[in-house]
Amino acid sequence: MSEAMLRTERRGDVLALTLDRPERLNAAPPALFDAIGAALSERGDARAILIAGEGRAFCSGADISGADVGPDTVHRALVGHYNPLMLALADLPIPVVSAVRGAAAGIGCSLALAADFCVASESAYFLHAFVNIGMVPDGGASWMLPRLIGRARAAEMMMLGERVGATRALDWGMVHKVVADDALDAEAWALAERLAAGPSVALGLMRRALHAGFDSDYAAALAREAQDQRSARATLDGEEGGRAFFEKRPPRFLGR
CATH number of 166's domain: 3.90.226.10
CATH number of 211's domain: 1.10.12
Strand ranges, E, within 94-212? 96-100, 103-105, 117-121, 125-127, 164-165, 177-179
> 205 and 93, same structural domain?
no
104 located within any domain: yes
237 located within any domain: yes
d(CA 86, CA 91): 9
> 217 and 185, same structural domain?
no
Determine the average pLDDT of the residues in 137-158. 96
> 37 and 92, same structural domain?
yes
The count of domains in the chain is 2
d(CA 194, CA 185): 14
d(CA 97, CA 177): 11
Task: Tell me whether residue 133 is exposed, middle or buried, using C-beta atoms within 10 angstroms of its C-beta: 0 to 12, 13 to 18, 19 or more.
Answer: exposed
Segments forming the whole domain that contains residue 123: 6-196
- Dump pLDDT digits (tens) for 62-112: 998 765 568 888 999 999 999 999 999 999 999 999 999 999 999 999 999
pTM score > 0.85 for this model?
A: yes
Of 174, 196, 218, which closes a domain?
A: 196
34: amino acid identity, one letter = D
